[in-house]
């Protein structure tokens, strides 16, 4: 039986159980934290304890696994995730490798690569593969999937190189991919087209944030490639309110696409985009943007819309298991 790497080590895919496929524990850029957070808005002990409380609460509702696509550019820092994971043994946390950039290539990769000053194979691919096969830095924790971005600006030179490196790391390792997309710009199509050209198995791709769209033609075009739709921003009503997200999922289930969707919130325990005002911003701007909105509210709404228990299990259990198998 295949296993998937988690923060506490490999887990049988059969034991993933109900899985939220796109949740962050922390979005806190290390450089920003070190220079402006410490001694100011960041309290390490408080934030770790807060994360433990929130993750225990969602585990108590039946969630067994969260998949955390926090990579370079969003503040991946595995030692802090290990501290949290040790205190929530009832929940698996799966972590990622890749780069989160809407446009530019990080300077750290600017001069090394094919045709560049140091004319070598793309070092990004080696870095991603090392995270997947040997572990991230000295933590011993292996990433289990890859993450990149295609935003409204499309394939800028930086984004294109990152996406190709992610695709090649997938080809080398078989690790699945989650790509952040902009549904209003329909950039999921651009991402899947590039992945197909790079030889990616599209059944191993989640098109992140597809659920911001209610355009069934767009969503079916994505799903018909074999890719999985990330219906993954429940509670972020500014992009698409919950009733519309529910109606879109129900419509797609009615058309036979339950095997091509996964559910999540894209929530976080703390996000530095709001600095010290995170708790206030979160509770006033998006009170339902939390790990348990799906179990508290959305599942009942899906059932009321005609989605079956079997289809919910497909989206919460079987589709994540297939993605990591
Ligand atoms: Zn996210």
pLDDT confidence of residue 122: 97
CA of 69 from ligand 1 middle (Å) equals 6
Give pLDDT, residue 276.
Answer: 86
Alpha carbon of 29 to ligand 1 centroid (Å): 14
**C-alpha 266 – ligand 1 centre gap (Å):** 5
Q: Is the pLDDT at 88 greater than 80, yes or no?
A: yes
Alpha carbon of 97 to ligand 1 centroid (Å):
13
What's the mean pLDDT in 47-56? 98
Q: What angle do CA 148, 21, 102 make, to 5 degrees?
A: 20
Residue 3: pLDDT over 80: yes
Which of the four pLDDT bands, split at 50, 70 and 90, describes residue 283? confident
Averaged pLDDT for residues 300-308: 98
- Read off the pLDDT of residues 117-168 as tens digits, 9 standing for 90 and up: 999 999 999 999 999 999 999 999 999 999 999 999 999 999 999 999 999 9
Pull the structure tokens for residue 128.
């991603």
pLDDT (0 to 100) of residue 53: 98
Between the CA of 263 and the centroid of ligand 1 the distance, in Å, is 13
pLDDT over 90 (residue 248):
yes
- Whole-structure pTM value: 0.97
- Taking a C-beta distance cutoff of 8 angstroms, is the pair 22, 67 a contact? yes
pLDDT at residue 279 above 90? no
Overall average pLDDT of the 29-53 stretch: 95
User: What's the CA-to-centroid distance between 179 and ligand 1, angstroms?
Assistant: 10
C-alpha 73 – ligand 1 centre gap (Å): 11
> Rounded mean pLDDT of 284-306?
96
Cα(76) to ligand 1 centroid in Å equals 12
pLDDT band, residue 271 (cuts 50/70/90): very high
Does residue 5 carry a pLDDT above 80? Answer: yes
Q: What percent of the chain has pLDDT over 70?
A: 100
- The mean pLDDT value of the chain amounts to 97
Tell how far the Cα of 23 is from the centroid of ligand 1, in angstroms.
6
Q: What whole-number distance in Å separates Cα of residue 24 and Cα of residue 317? A: 19
267 CA → ligand 1 middle, Å? 7
Ligand 1: distance of its center to the CA of 96 in Å? 11
Q: Three-class SS of residue 271?
A: strand
CA of 81 to the centre of ligand 1 (A): 16
Q: How confident is the model at residue 282 (pLDDT cuts 50, 70, 90)?
A: confident
Q: How far is the CA of 70 from the centre of ligand 1 (A)?
A: 7
pLDDT of residue 1: 74
22 CA to middle of ligand 1, Å? 6
State in Å: Cα 11 to ligand 1 middle.
Answer: 23
Ligand 1 geometric centre to CA of 117 (Å): 33
Q: Where on the phi/psi map is residue 74: left (φ > 0), alpha (ψ -120 to 50), or beta?
A: alpha
Distance 220 CA to ligand 1 centre (A): 22
- 303 pLDDT exceeds 80? yes
Q: What's the gap in Å between 26 CA and the centre of ligand 1?
A: 10
Burial class (CB in 10 A: 0-12, 13-18, 19+), 309: exposed
Q: How confident is the model at residue 9 (pLDDT cuts 50, 70, 90)?
A: very high
Task: Output the pLDDT for position 281.
Answer: 86
Check if the beta carbon of residue 100 is closer than 8 Å to that of residue 147: yes
Confidence of residue 264 (pLDDT cuts 50, 70, 90): very high
pLDDT in tens, 164-220: 999 999 999 999 999 999 999 999 999 999 999 999 999 999 999 999 999 999 999
């Amino acid at each position: 039986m295949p296993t998937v790497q988690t923060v506490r080590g490999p887990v049988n895919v059969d034991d993933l159980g109900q899985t939220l496929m796109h949740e962050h524990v922390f979005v806190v850029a290390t450089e920003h934290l070190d220079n402006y957070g410490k001694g100011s808005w960041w309290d390490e002990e408080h934030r770790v304890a807060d994360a433990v409380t929130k993750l225990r609460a969602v585990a108590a509702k039946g969630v067994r696994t969260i998949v955390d696509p926090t990579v370079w550019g969003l503040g991946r820092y595995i030692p802090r995730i290990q501290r949290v994971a040790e205190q929530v043994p009832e929940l698996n946390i799966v972590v990622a490798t890749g780069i989160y950039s809407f446009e530019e290539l990080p300077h750290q990769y600017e001069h090394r690569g094919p045709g560049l000053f140091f004319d070598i194979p793309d070092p990004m691919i080696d870095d991603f593969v090392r995270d997947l096969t040997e572990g991230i830095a000295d933590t011993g924790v292996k990433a289990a999937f890859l993450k990149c971005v295609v935003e409204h600006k499309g394939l800028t030179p930086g984004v294109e190189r990152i996406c190709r490196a992610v695709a090649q790391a997938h080809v080398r390792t078989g690790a699945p991919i989650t790509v952040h997309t902009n549904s209003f710009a329909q950039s999921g199509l651009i991402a899947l087209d590039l992945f197909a050209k790079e030889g990616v198995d599209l059944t191993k791709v989640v098109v992140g944030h597809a659920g911001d769209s209610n355009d069934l033609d767009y969503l079916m075009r994505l799903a018909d490639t074999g890719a999985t739709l990330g219906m993954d921003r429940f509670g972020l009503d500014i992009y698409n309110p919950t009733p519309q997200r529910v109606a879109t999922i129900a419509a797609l289930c009615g058309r036979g696409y339950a095997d091509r969707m996964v559910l999540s919130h894209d929530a976080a325990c703390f996000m530095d985009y709001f600095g010290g005002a995170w708790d206030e911003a979160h509770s006033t701007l998006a009170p339902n943007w939390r790990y348990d909105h799906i179990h508290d509210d959305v599942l009942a709404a899906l059932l009321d819309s005609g989605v079956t228990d079997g289809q919910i299990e497909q989206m919460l259990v079987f589709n994540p298991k297939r993605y990591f198998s």
